[in-house]
Amino acid sequence: QKEVEQNSGPLSVPEGAIASLNCTYSDRGSQSFFWYRQYSGKSPELIMSIYSNGDKEDGRFTAQLNKASQYVSLLIRDSQPSDSATYLCAPQTGTASKLTFGTGTRLQVTL
Amino acid sequence: DGGITQSPKYLFRKEGQNVTLSCEQNLNHDAMYWYRQDPGQGLRLIYYSQIVNDFQKGDIAEGYSVSREKKESFPLTVTSAQKNPTAFYLCASRVGTASYNEQFFGPGTRLTVL
């Protein structure tokens, strides 16, 4: 069983729609959770951090965390073509704050 | 202009050669990390350092070495012992407390073995 599972996609959504990206993790010791966006050939860019159960909103992005279910998600409202990228889920564990990455979900926003 | 810089952007290595990838940050961050990314895979942790003159192995440290002589610098050496070094190498640094912190990445170095 993979430590961090994401649907590889591609997830295709029309412009203006809501994109829903999901992630499950196996390490119950994970305390903090991060979503990174990675454009092709570029390095990951941090877009959301979430530290406690519930929802966290930042602009068009909403992260949702359910530690009991070991599930974290990212919603992107009013999806734009510029949102087309791979989204990486990364739980963090331990005192060294090590991140474990999923393989990412590729999002395609169509016109 | 604060940030994390990595050089070179592209690096070509012959088999049997050691190469060193540079990572510098002027953000005054204590902790720094090296990851490797292969096509279709998530990032995997190679080495990390939480403080100057101290570093720890990550999940895939074999064939790699690091040093942390200065807070700003965390170079990674890919040795000839690394069996499959062709990959995208990413350096990150961490800001925040032990409980609430974030990692930010440099632009990466793409290493190809010829």
Q: What is the pLDDT of residues B38-74, one digit of tens each?
A: 988 889 999 999 999 999 999 999 999 999 999 999 9
Cβ-based contacts of B108 with chain A (< 8 Å): 42-43
Cβ-based contacts of B41 with chain A (< 8 Å): 103
Digit-by-digit pLDDT tens for chain A (111 residues) are 569 999 999 999 999 999 999 999 999 999 999 999 999 999 999 999 999 999 999 999 999 999 999 999 999 999 999 999 999 999 998 878 899 999 999 999 999
Residue of B nearest to A36 (CA): B104
How far apart are the C-alpha atoms of A2 and B44, rounded to whole Å? 13
* Nearest chain B Cα distance for residue A78, angstroms: 26
How far apart are the C-alpha atoms of A93 and B29, rounded to whole Å? 19
Judge contact between B10 and B112, C-beta under 8 A. Answer: yes
CB contact set of A7 (below 8 Å; sequence gap of 6+): A22, A105
